[in-house]
Structure 1
Amino acid sequence: MACATCSNGSADACATHMLDVAEADHIETAFSRYAKQQPQCGFGTAGLCCRICLQGPCRIDPFGNGPQYGVCGADRDTIVARHLVRMMAAGTAAHSEHGRHIALALLHVGDHKLVDYDVHDDEKLHVVATRMGVETEGREQSAIVHDLAELTLDDYQNQDYDKPCHWLSASLPPPRLKKLNDLGLLPHNIDATISQSMSRTHMGCDADPGNLILGGLRVALADLNGEMLATELSDVLFGTPMPVASTANLGVLKRNAVNVAVNGHNPLLSEIICNVAADLHDEAVAAGAPDGINIVGVCCTGNELMMRHGVPLATNYLSQELPILTGALEAMVVDVQCVMPSLPRVAACFHTKIITTDKQNKITGATHIEFDEYRASEIAHEILRVAISNFKRRDQKRIDIPNIKQEALVGFSTEGIISALAKVNPQDPLQALVDNIANGNIQGIVLFAGCNNAKIKQDENYLVMAKSLAKRNVLVIATGCASGAFAKGGMMTSAATAQYAGEGLAGVLTAIGEAAGLGGALPPVLHMGACVDNSRGVALATALANKLKVDISDLPLVASAPEAMSEKAMAIGTWSVALGIPTHLGTVPPVVGSDTVTDLITNAAKAQLGGYFIVDTDPKRAADKLFAVIQERRAGLGLSTVALAPKPATFQLAQPRTASALLAS
Structure 2
Amino acid sequence: MAEIKKTAVAKAPKLADPIASSIDKSTQELIARAQQLGIDTVFDRAAQMKPCAIGIQGICCKNCAMGPCRLPLPKGGIDGEDTRKGLCGATANTIAARNFIRMIAGGAAAHSDHGRCVAEVFLSAARKETDAYKIKDPNKLLAIAPFFDVAVTVEVDGQTQDRNIDEIALEVAEKALNEWGKAEGELRYLKRAPAPLYEKWTKTGVKPRNIDREIVEIMHRTHMGVDQDYKNLMKQGTRASLADGWGGSMIATDLQDVLFGTPYPLQSEANLGVMKEDHVNIIVHGHEPVLSEMIVAMSQKPEIIEYAKSKGAKGIQLGGICCTANEIFQRHGVPQAGTYLQQELAIITGACDAMVVDIQCVFQNLANVAECFHTKLITTHPIAKMEQDSVIHIEFDEHHALEDAEKIIRMAIDNFQNRGSEVMIPQYKASAIGGFSVESIQYHLGGTFRGTYYTLNDNIINGRIRGIAGVVGCNNARTRHNEAHIQVVKELIKNDVIVLTTGCNGIACAMEGLLTPEAAAVHCGPGLAEVCETVGIPPVLHMGSCVDNSRLLLAATEVVKAGGLGKDICDLPLAGSAPEWMSEKAISIGHYFVASGVYTVFGLHLPTSGAPVFHDYLSKEMEKMYGGRWDLEADPIKHAQMMIAHIDKKRQELGIDKARERVLMDMADRQALEG
Q: Give the TM-score normalised by the residue count of structure 1.
A: 0.93
* Matching of residue 158 in structure 1 with residue 182 in structure 2: yes
Could you tell me how far apart the structure 1 residues matched to 2:218 and 2:491 are? 39
Q: How does 1:374-523 map to 2 (within 5 A)?
A: 374-396=399-421, 398-423=422-447, 426-427=449-450, 429-513=452-536, 522-523=537-538
Deviation at 1:495, TM superposition (A): 2.1
Contact in 1 for aligned 2:320/2:334 (Cα 8 Å) = yes
Matched to 2:54, the amino acid is: F
Could you tell me how far apart the structure 1 residues matched to 2:505 and 2:631 are? 18
**Partner SS, residue 604 of structure 2:** coil
Contact in 1 for aligned 2:72/2:610 (Cα 8 Å) = no
**1:542 aligned to which of 557, 565, 568:** 557
Match of 2:64 in 1: 53
Q: Deviations over 1:517-548 (max 9, x none)?
A: xxxxx111110000000011111101111222
Could you tell me how far apart the structure 1 residues matched to 2:413 and 2:383 are? 26
Matched to 2:91, the amino acid is: D
Q: How does 1:17-96 map to 2 (within 5 A)?
A: 17-38=29-50, 40-63=51-74, 68-96=84-112
Could you tell me how far apart the structure 2 residues matched to 1:443 and 1:395 are? 53
**2:342 aligned to which of 313, 319, 326:** 319
Match of 1:533 in 2: 548
Q: Deviations over 1:6-50 (max 9, x none)?
A: 695111111111111111112111111111102x21111111111
Deviation at 1:364, TM superposition (A): 2.3
**Partner SS, residue 331 of structure 1:** strand
Q: Deviations over 1:543-587 (max 9, x none)?
A: 111222600000011100000110000000000000010001002
* Matching of residue 298 in structure 1 with residue 317 in structure 2: no
Q: How does 1:90-489 map to 2 (within 5 A)?
A: 90-137=106-153, 138-160=162-184, 163-169=185-191, 171-224=192-245, 225-279=247-301, 280-290=304-314, 292-365=315-388, 366-396=391-421, 398-423=422-447, 426-427=449-450, 429-489=452-512
Superposition CA RMSD, Å: 1.8
Q: Deviations over 1:620-651 (max 9, x none)?
A: 111111000001111111112x4x38859x89
Contact in 2 for aligned 1:7/1:32 (Cα 8 Å) = no
Match of 1:596 in 2: 613
Could you tell me how far apart the structure 1 residues matched to 2:519 and 2:345 are? 26
Match of 1:519 in 2: none
Could you tell me how far apart the structure 2 residues matched to 1:165 and 1:534 are? 18
Contact in 1 for aligned 2:265/2:330 (Cα 8 Å) = yes
CA gap of 1:274–1:146, structure 2 versus 1, over 3 A, is same
Contact in 1 for aligned 2:238/2:591 (Cα 8 Å) = yes
Aligned residues: 633
**1:622 aligned to which of 620, 639, 642:** 639
**Partner SS, residue 592 of structure 1:** coil
Q: Give the TM-score normalised by the residue count of structure 2.
A: 0.92
Contact in 2 for aligned 1:60/1:69 (Cα 8 Å) = yes
Contact in 1 for aligned 2:147/2:188 (Cα 8 Å) = no
Q: Which runs of 5+ in 1 are unaligned?
A: 514-521, 653-665
**Partner SS, residue 42 of structure 1:** coil
CA gap of 1:247–1:3, structure 2 versus 1, over 3 A, is farther
Contact in 2 for aligned 1:562/1:586 (Cα 8 Å) = yes
Could you tell me how far apart the structure 2 residues matched to 1:25 and 1:325 are? 9
Q: Deviations over 1:152-184 (max 9, x none)?
A: 112111222xx2201223x21111011111101
Matched to 1:343, the amino acid is: L
Q: Deviations over 1:343-396 (max 9, x none)?
A: 010111111111000011001231111100100000000001110111111012
Of stretches 188-197 and 490-499 in structure 1, the one that deviates more from structure 2 is 490-499
Could you tell me how far apart the structure 2 residues matched to 1:34 and 1:510 are? 42
Contact in 2 for aligned 1:441/1:504 (Cα 8 Å) = yes
Could you tell me how far apart the structure 2 residues matched to 1:428 and 1:105 are? 31
Deviation at 1:308, TM superposition (A): 0.2
Deviation at 1:427, TM superposition (A): 2.8
Could you tell me how far apart the structure 1 residues matched to 2:568 and 2:20 are? 40
Of stretches 136-145 and 346-355 in structure 1, the one that deviates more from structure 2 is 136-145
**Partner SS, residue 577 of structure 2:** strand
Deviation at 1:430, TM superposition (A): 1.5
Could you tell me how far apart the structure 1 residues matched to 2:283 and 2:197 are? 41
Could you tell me how far apart the structure 2 residues matched to 1:133 and 1:315 are? 40
Matched to 1:112, the amino acid is: K
Contact in 1 for aligned 2:15/2:35 (Cα 8 Å) = yes
Deviation at 1:218, TM superposition (A): 0.9
Query: Quick one: percent identity of the two aligned structures?
Result: 42
Could you tell me how far apart the structure 1 residues matched to 2:212 and 2:544 are? 25
**Partner SS, residue 233 of structure 1:** helix
Q: Deviations over 1:97-128 (max 9, x none)?
A: 00001111111111111111000001111111
**Partner SS, residue 355 of structure 2:** strand
Q: Deviations over 1:70-106 (max 9, x none)?
A: 1111111111110001000010000000000111111
Q: Deviations over 1:274-323 (max 9, x none)?
A: 00112311111011102x11111110011000000000000010111111
Deviation at 1:610, TM superposition (A): 1.0
Could you tell me how far apart the structure 2 residues matched to 1:457 and 1:83 are? 26
Match of 1:655 in 2: none
Could you tell me how far apart the structure 2 residues matched to 1:358 and 1:426 are? 42
Could you tell me how far apart the structure 2 residues matched to 1:651 and 1:299 are? 42
Matched to 1:536, the amino acid is: R
CA gap of 1:12–1:127, structure 2 versus 1, over 3 A, is same
Contact in 1 for aligned 2:282/2:317 (Cα 8 Å) = yes
Could you tell me how far apart the structure 2 residues matched to 1:408 and 1:651 are? 33
Deviation at 1:494, TM superposition (A): 2.1
CA gap of 1:651–1:413, structure 2 versus 1, over 3 A, is farther
Q: How does 1:567-586 map to 2 (within 5 A)?
A: 567-586=584-603
Contact in 2 for aligned 1:176/1:552 (Cα 8 Å) = yes
Could you tell me how far apart the structure 2 residues matched to 1:36 and 1:645 are? 55
Match of 1:659 in 2: none
Could you tell me how far apart the structure 2 residues matched to 1:608 and 1:76 are? 23
Could you tell me how far apart the structure 2 residues matched to 1:646 and 1:635 are? 17
Deviation at 1:61, TM superposition (A): 2.9
